[in-house]
Amino acid sequence: MSFIPVNEPLLNGNEKKYLNECIDTGWISSEGPFIKKFEDNMASYVNRKYAVAVTNGTAALEMAVEALGIGKNDEVIMPSFTIISCGQAVVKAGAKPVLVDSEYDSFNMKVQDLEAKITPNTKAIMVVHIYGLPVDMNPILELAKKYNLKIIEDAAEMHGQTYNSKMCGSFGDISIFSFYPNKHITTGEGGMVLMDDERLYEKCKSLRNLCFSSDGNKRFIHEELGWNLRMTNIQAALGVAQLERIDEFVTKKRWIGNMYQELLSDIKSINLPIKQKDFAENIYWVFPVTLKDDYPKTAKEVMKELGAKGIGTRPFFYPMHTQPVFNKMGLFVDEEYPNAKKLYERGFYIPSGLAITEEQIKQVSKFLHEVLV
């Protein structure tokens, strides 16, 4: 049996057709028609007024922070258990990330801990939906209204997921998506910011394009600093083709997750992900498992054994509060977020990309039984 990767994208729709159209017409840069089409289609799907396509999800986060005017002495509350891009975006803006722990079973930020972290300097809450279930949004929306805070919604892993039947990506003052190859929709590399505020939309469009003046007579005269974060027409063509199949992809992801739930339910040494909450059914962006407390091996040891059998795995996020780069800046010193720490030590995820077959899923299950039972 050949190696089974953690993720392999599904690219058997209109991807080749649209890519060939880019090549045949010569529209391969950031000026082509697929970019606006991708933005419009994504905004419509998520039920937002505006969307701005960018180079990746990290760039989308940094743009969101900048567009909201977050800077020196401001604070942004976020989970410790998430990718470093979230904290990095805030630190690079000169602001301070303020952390909360996560629920061990859902992997999402502890909503009940948020209010205690709010200070006069708090400017925003960065909501990060993790692995397959959304964060409980209603209490956060109430807090944001009570304290006049902005919400940055990181929906990078939530293409097609809903919270109380409303699309993830529709809750933030600014929401972001990533289109990395392991996401439900991929453009190879890519990201997007979405919003309903026209002012934020115009600001993000400007930031994406080096803040060039809209006045043609002042083309190379700049009043502000931005980035070159332009998505190419080639990338957007992939995105348009992928988005056409989003409902099919969501259905397959849930089929993969449910199959693993059934095949792995008899392994007593692991915790399987929650199937659903009152407000959402798991979308299984990845299929994460955690080792039970009385199981003697570490996640790293188990992943090594699975790798030797040809099964790809990935570790969980390294907690923000233990990141050396932030500790060297004097951030999060002596702070403890035990669930975030334990998730990293005891968790990993297994192959669940959209191209995975039923035979491969059964093979993964077989080797998990051999290693863990």
| Residue 309 predicted with pLDDT over 90 | yes
pLDDT in tens, 21-32: 999 999 999 999
Tokens of residue 305, six digits? 């054994």
Report the mean per-residue pLDDT for the chain: 97
Residue with tokens 């600093």: 225
pLDDT in tens, 235-283: 999 999 999 999 999 999 999 999 999 999 999 999 999 999 999 999 9
Q: What is the pLDDT of residue 219?
A: 84
Q: What is the pLDDT of residue 214?
A: 83
The runs of H, that is alpha helices, within the chain are: 15-25, 33-46, 57-67, 84-92, 137-147, 198-208, 233-243, 246-264, 299-308, 324-327, 338-346, 358-372
Cα distances from 95 to residues 55, 71, 288, in angstroms, run 23, 5, 32
pLDDT band at 8 (very low <50, low <70, confident <90, very high): very high
Q: What is the pLDDT of residue 83?
A: 97
Q: What is the pLDDT of residue 109?
A: 98
Q: What is the pLDDT of residue 216?
A: 79
Phi-psi region at 185: left, alpha or beta (left = phi > 0; alpha = psi -120 to 50): beta
| Residue 16 predicted with pLDDT over 90 | yes
> Does residue 184 contact residue 250 with C-beta atoms inside 8 Å?
yes
**Average pLDDT rounded to a whole number, residues 188-197:** 98
| Residue 295 predicted with pLDDT over 90 | yes
DSSP, collapsed to helix, strand or coil, labels residue 194 as strand
The reply to whether 15-243 and 246-372 are identical in fold is no
Q: What is the pLDDT of residue 255?
A: 98
| Residue 321 predicted with pLDDT over 90 | yes
**Average pLDDT rounded to a whole number, residues 112-131:** 98
| Residue 352 predicted with pLDDT over 90 | yes
Q: What is the pLDDT of residue 357?
A: 97
Contacts of 359 (CB under 8 A, 6+ apart): none
| Residue 373 predicted with pLDDT over 90 | no
Q: What is the pLDDT of residue 78?
A: 98
pLDDT band at 217 (very low <50, low <70, confident <90, very high): confident
DSSP, collapsed to helix, strand or coil, labels residue 362 as helix
Q: Which residue in 188, 151, 191 sits closest to 63, CA to CA?
A: 191
CATH 3.40.640.10 fits 15-243, yes or no: yes
* For the chain, domain boundaries: 15-243, 246-372
Radius of gyration of the chain (CA): 21
| Residue 305 predicted with pLDDT over 70 | yes
**Average pLDDT rounded to a whole number, residues 104-113:** 98
- In the chain, % helix, strand, coil (3-state, to 5) comes to 40, 20, 40
pLDDT band at 1 (very low <50, low <70, confident <90, very high): low
Q: In this structure, which topology does domain 246-372 adopt according to CATH?
A: Aspartate Aminotransferase, domain 1 (3.90.1150)
Q: What is the pLDDT of residue 90?
A: 98
